[in-house]
A and B are shown apart, each in its own frame.
Chain A
Amino acid sequence: MTRGYLSIIVVLAILAALPFLVASNVVLNFVVFVLIITLTAQGWNLLGGVGGQNSFGHAAFFGTGAYVSAMLQVHYGVNAWVALAAAIAGGAVVGWIIGFLSFRAGLKGSYFALVTLAFAEVLRILANAMEFTGGAAGLLLKLDTGFWNLQFSSRAAFVWLALFFVALALFISQWIANSRFGAHLVAVRENEEAAKALGVDVLAVKLRAITISGAITATAGCLYLQYFLYIDANIAYGVWISIEALLAAMVGGRGLVLGPIIGAFSLHGLGEVTKLAAGRVPGIDLAVYGAVLILVVGFAPGGILGLINKLRFRGRPRPEPEKAATPAPKTEEAA
């Protein structure tokens, strides 16, 4: 079962080596933030990309991860690593609850998307209003660098930390893609009725996906907190992070293991480039960013990785066409 792992290891090796090659903290800070977005999007990709359940509310998981960890550390003085574990569990629980409620009600497509959006908004309003979550003032972690506090004075250390979790998520995603569970998940995406007829427990499969998805995205929320040391309701539960999550996964290549990481780096790289190129009229850079986004979608409807695959196989017969009929490998090739 080495299929797919090689390209993951190559990508990880490049990123892991980066701090040795580039000393600039501008680059490293950029990489840390993009890795956090990547991790958020990896969570989204499992549910939305592989499982076809498009969520507009991954902020619910991101924010839960950030808030659980922050509240445990600020209010109870819990060790940051323990808080991280609790945050991941918190994300999984919230994922399961939202999944249980919505999937049991049979919500899919736009309906599921909208209900996740609403859950995230409810959490945002609550976090903004309650005393326990620091209310509108948000929660501030004390700056205290050290391994046990999960705070690092060097940007490089944080790159590796974030990369560690991204790698973990990549391997989990690849493992799922190759597994029976992954095959079931894709079957649910492609045709729920058919999957059901074949004996797939659709509800259980979806619930498992949203729980793992919530856990991964909550990890990203927790990393955000450890890096920036400050969260408030609009940061942690804001719509922005839900959009970042789905944008990165979709632009990179929906349902593909490497999709989120490719998408996140492309999008944010593009953002930096337009910022440098646009000069001083505010807004122009983001407008160009939006235009490029539309062009990318127009010319690469399967995401960047989808386009690469298409170009690679152009003029040649698609390799092993019979595999496309079975669901599992489909996640690897063009979605």
Chain B
Amino acid sequence: MYPISIVAEAMLNGLLTGAVYALIALGLTLVYGVLHIINFAHGAFLTVAMFAVWAAYVFLGLDPYLAIVPLTILFFAFGYVVQRFVIGPASHGDDGNILLVTLGLSIIIENVLLALFQSDTRSISTDVSFQVLEIGGLLISKARLYGFLGAVVVTALLWLLLVRTDTGKAIRAVAKEKLGAQLIGIDVKHVFAVTFGLGTATLAIAACLLMPTFYVNPRVGGAFVLVAFTIVVLGGMGSITGALAGGLVIGVVESLCSLYLGDSLGQIGIFIIFILVLLLRPTGLFGARA
């Protein structure tokens, strides 16, 4: 058995990691809530964003935290274009086809990155990579703390955007009643693309927050996709605040499972929770806004 201090620290680790998971899940749940599609290219987009952070640091000397602003804008545009001109037209609005198109996109992205950067694992070490805050015997990684704060702020901003702005209202209208929204003059295709752009923009932020402590290779995004799905389900598909709560819960569960079961088997804990939630309460544990 572990002393209470270790358990507490594991839970703290879980919260810090979970917040970044939540940030990754945020885009997924937003896109699901509005477009009602599961974006299989989400992991691949994350990989692209992480390569972008890496490249900005290596070639332009841009600190990952400073890169947040330009990359968020860039990835919003990227997501907008991909949805408006690739996924939308190619899928004819059919669920199955969207699945195939996003799958195709992820195959393209992974392999173009492979061709461009080779399969090498790359990482960057910035000033904060190894810095820690010492609080009563606990060593808290600054980079991970910033990640946590960033995730909370982005969630709050996204929530405000959806609730307070006209764009947000249009997005919510389309999510609730596509036909009705169209009738009152909302450009549904544009709203879909904006939503998708917001989803990829959050990935860019996640990538900026991850890179000081993580690494990137052409397949890295896949590591985060399954856990992001879990969080989306746990939080209630389409729920922004649910995603944050779900991310934190999954982070802590994963942390404790890995402490007691080992990291490998600990993964099972996540999936069993996932299955149980789906079977017993498919609208999610938090804020069922399906």
Q: Let me know if chains A and B touch directly in the complex, using CB atoms closer than 8 Å.
A: yes
Mask, B86-101, CB within 8 Å of A = 1, is 1001111011110111
B residues 239-290 with Cβ under 8 Å of A? 264-265, 267-268, 271-272, 274-275, 278-280, 282
Task: Kindly identify which residue among B32, B86, B271, B280 contacts A294, using a CB–CB cutoff of 8 Å.
Answer: B86
Given A114-B233, A287-B108, A293-B104 in contact, is the A281-B115 Cβ separation under 8 Å?
yes
B contact residues around A289 at 8 Å (CB): 107
Decide if A118 touches B282 in the complex (CB within 8 Å): no
Given A294-B86, A294-B101 in contact, is the A286-B107 Cβ separation under 8 Å?
yes
Given A105-B282, A114-B229, A128-B264 in contact, is the A282-B114 Cβ separation under 8 Å?
yes
CA–CA, A289 and B104, complex, Å: 8
- Chain A CB within 10 Å — which of B101, B114, B271 has the most? B271
A contact residues around B113 at 8 Å (CB): 283
Decide if B108 touches A115 in the complex (CB within 8 Å): no
Closest to B107 in A: A290
Decide if B282 touches A107 in the complex (CB within 8 Å): yes
A residues 288-309 with Cβ under 8 Å of B? 289-291, 293-295, 297-298, 301
CA–CA, A298 and B88, complex, Å: 9
Given A110-B38, A115-B278, A298-B89 in contact, is the A293-B107 Cβ separation under 8 Å?
yes
B residues 80-136 with Cβ under 8 Å of A? 86, 89-92, 94-97, 99-101, 103-108, 110-115, 119
- Chain A CB within 10 Å — which of B119, B275, B280 has the most? B275
Decide if A290 touches B278 in the complex (CB within 8 Å): no
- Chain A CB within 10 Å — which of B100, B113, B274, B280 has the most? B100
Decide if A122 touches B104 in the complex (CB within 8 Å): no
Decide if B115 touches A247 in the complex (CB within 8 Å): no
CA–CA, A297 and B100, complex, Å: 7
Decide if A297 touches B275 in the complex (CB within 8 Å): no
Closest to B229 in A: A114
Decide if A129 touches B264 in the complex (CB within 8 Å): yes
CA–CA, A301 and B218, complex, Å: 29
Decide if A297 touches B32 in the complex (CB within 8 Å): no
Decide if B278 touches A107 in the complex (CB within 8 Å): yes
A contact residues around B100 at 8 Å (CB): 247, 250-251, 293-294, 297
Closest to A284 in B: B115
Task: Kindly identify which residue among B92, B111, B271 contacts A125, using a CB–CB cutoff of 8 Å.
Answer: B271
CA–CA, A290 and B107, complex, Å: 5
Decide if A125 touches B112 in the complex (CB within 8 Å): no
Decide if A125 touches B268 in the complex (CB within 8 Å): yes
Decide if A297 touches B101 in the complex (CB within 8 Å): yes
In the complex, whether A15 has a CB less than 8 A from a CB of chain B is no
Given A107-B278, A110-B38 in contact, is the A250-B265 Cβ separation under 8 Å?
no
CA–CA, A243 and B38, complex, Å: 14
CA–CA, A290 and B44, complex, Å: 13
Write the nearest CB–CB distance from A256 to chain B, whole angstroms: 13
Given A290-B107, A293-B103, A301-B94 in contact, is the A125-B89 Cβ separation under 8 Å?
no
Decide if A287 touches B112 in the complex (CB within 8 Å): yes
Mask, A80-116, CB within 8 Å of B = 1, is 0000000000000000000001100111011101110
Closest to B118 in A: A282
Closest to B116 in A: A283
CA–CA, A289 and B114, complex, Å: 14
A contact residues around B108 at 8 Å (CB): 287, 290-291, 294
A-side residues, CB < 8 A to B, are 54, 101-102, 105-107, 109-111, 113-115, 117-119, 121-122, 125-126, 128-129, 243, 246-247, 250-251, 254, 281-287, 289-291, 293-295, 297-298, 301
Some 12 contacts from A to B, beta carbons below 8 A apart, are A54-B96, A105-B280, A105-B282, A125-B265, A129-B264, A251-B100, A282-B119, A283-B111, A283-B114, A285-B111, A294-B104, A297-B101
10 A-B pairs with the lowest CB-CB distances in the bound complex, closest first = A290-B107, A283-B114, A298-B90, A290-B108, A283-B111, A293-B104, A283-B115, A287-B111, A286-B111, A294-B104
